[in-house]
Amino acid sequence: MKNQRNRLGRLLAVLTMLALLASACGSSDSSGDDSSASDDDSSSETETTTDDSSGEDTTDDASEDDGAMAELEPVSLNVGYIDTSINGGGLIAIAEELGLWEKYNLDLNLIPFTNGPTQITAMQSGDIDVGYIGGGAIWLPASGQATILVTSEASVGERIIASAESGATDMEGLRGLKVGVPEGGSGEMILALALDKAGMSMDDIEPVVLDPPNIVTAFVSGSVDAAAIFQPLAGQILTAKEDSEILAQNTDFPDVSFLGAWVASNPAVEEKPEALTRFLMAYADANDFRVENFEETLEISSAFTGVPMDSTRAQGEVSEWYSSDDILARDQDGTTATLFEGFEAVFVTTGRMEAVNPADSFINFDLWADAMAARQ
């Protein structure tokens, strides 16, 4: 009964948004210039273009959508993001640059984090409703600790890097050495895969658990012999110590997709479906912008996160993004479920999970479908 009530509540929220969109568009068509002139905030920024053949003025459809959303009550969310990530902070930066929070009448409290697992912890304590996590933290929602809303990217940016001083030129060379690794993140994931491929385990090395940015500091200072880390931090290490050796990377494991995602707390999914739908509408707009405007995305992300442009570019180049329509199609044809369940199998191998759970037990496909329908 609870799930049925949630579906009904979610459906009513989406129908309300669609009705307001239709109402605003109809009002715009019937009221002419007077109605647009009465809204100083939106009309001052709206440009009209003239069709040379007809002489008629046409108004961008987006302005009508903006007016419709303005009729909705503002909704609030606490949103976390990884502050060094083009897929976390970079996506937030695009949304702010495009004014998408205002477009969808969202009142967001944006909170930076350094990794995914700490965001899941913050969700469980009620501090945030939504957040971005990289592939290495997917085991957390997959084990029921949060709910995936939408796939963000497939990444090939994870690296295991050894310092020249360590003498290691392959994974076997890491035996007994100190390896900096973020707990529960994609660095841990690539390390576990590479060790297993070499016939080794965590017991054969000395893992040094550190926050991702601190791994860079520890590596450069010589406190650790190697690092299991992701872009752009991997790029920072290689820039600071150019004689370092890359021992393993994602492309060594072509059958495993490192999927990042935007996730929500389980209570937020239950209690705030309309707010999450509007957030996903904004996300869809920002996502399509980055797919279509790579160079501008790099500039916006770098300016917002403070990550140098070369490191931001390195991260962008190892992130595969899908258009919002493609994400919906992949959700509907089963591709998304297959990829995440395949990813879960790796977490089972590494001991993070006991068994592979059905994707629909931790991915809410309906909210993304609702957002895409309301966005049309």
Q: Would residue 118 count as lying in a domain?
A: yes
Kindly tell me the sign of the dihedral angle through the C-alpha atoms of 159, 162, 168, 169: positive
Hey, what are 12's tokens? Answer: 């009513």
Q: What is the DSSP string of 109-158?
A: EEEEESSSHHHHHHHHTTS-SEEEE-GGGTHHHHTTSSEEEEEEEEE--E
Note the pLDDT of residue 184: 74
Q: What is the DSSP string of 308-350?
A: -HHHHHHHHHTEE---HHHHHHHHHTTHHHHHHHHHHHHHHHH
Q: Would residue 56 count as lying in a domain?
A: no
Q: Would residue 44 count as lying in a domain?
A: no
Q: Would residue 55 count as lying in a domain?
A: no
Query: Which amino acid is it at 163?
Result: S
Q: Are residues 204 and 233 in the same domain?
A: yes
Q: Are residues 132 and 180 in the same domain?
A: no
Domain, as residue range, for 198? 158-252
| Spatial strand order in the sheet of 226-230 | 206-209, 178-181, 226-230, 158-162, 245-249
Three-class secondary structure of residue 58 per DSSP: strand
Q: Are residues 118 and 24 in the same domain?
A: no
Note the pLDDT of residue 37: 35
Q: Would residue 361 count as lying in a domain?
A: yes
Ramachandran angles phi, psi of 253, nearest 5°: -130, 70
Note the pLDDT of residue 350: 79
Domain count, the chain: 3
Report mean pLDDT in 10-residue bins for the chain, 376 residues.
46 51 45 38 36 42 55 93 95 98 97 94 98 94 98 93 97 97 85 94 95 94 96 90 95 88 98 98 98 98 95 92 98 97 88 95 98 90
Q: Are residues 271 and 356 in the same domain?
A: yes
How many angstroms separate the CA atoms of 224 and 167, rounded?
13
Which of 252, 271, 303 is a domain's end point?
252
Q: Are residues 129 and 145 in the same domain?
A: yes
How many angstroms separate the CA atoms of 116 and 131, rounded?
8
How many whole angstroms from its chain centre is CA 112?
13
Q: Would residue 50 count as lying in a domain?
A: no
SS3 content of the chain, % helix, strand, coil (to 5): 55, 20, 25
How many angstroms separate the CA atoms of 223 and 304, rounded?
30
Note the pLDDT of residue 72: 82
Q: Are residues 146 and 261 in the same domain?
A: yes
Q: Are residues 267 and 345 in the same domain?
A: yes
Q: Are residues 162 and 212 in the same domain?
A: yes
Which of 233, 252, 271 is a domain's end point?
252
Beta strands in the chain (DSSP E): 48-50, 57-59, 75-82, 106-113, 130-133, 147-155, 158-162, 178-181, 206-209, 226-230, 245-249, 258-264, 319-320
Note the pLDDT of residue 3: 45
Q: Are residues 140 and 263 in the same domain?
A: yes
Q: Are 112 and 83 in contact (CB under 8 A)?
A: yes
Q: Would residue 265 count as lying in a domain?
A: yes
Q: Are residues 268 and 351 in the same domain?
A: yes
Q: Are residues 261 and 368 in the same domain?
A: yes
Q: Would residue 269 count as lying in a domain?
A: yes
Which of 20, 54, 72 is a domain's end point?
72
Note the pLDDT of residue 64: 55
Q: Are residues 211 and 285 in the same domain?
A: no
The burial class, CB within 10 Å (0-12 / 13-18 / 19+), for 110 is middle
CATH number for 308 = 3.40.190.10
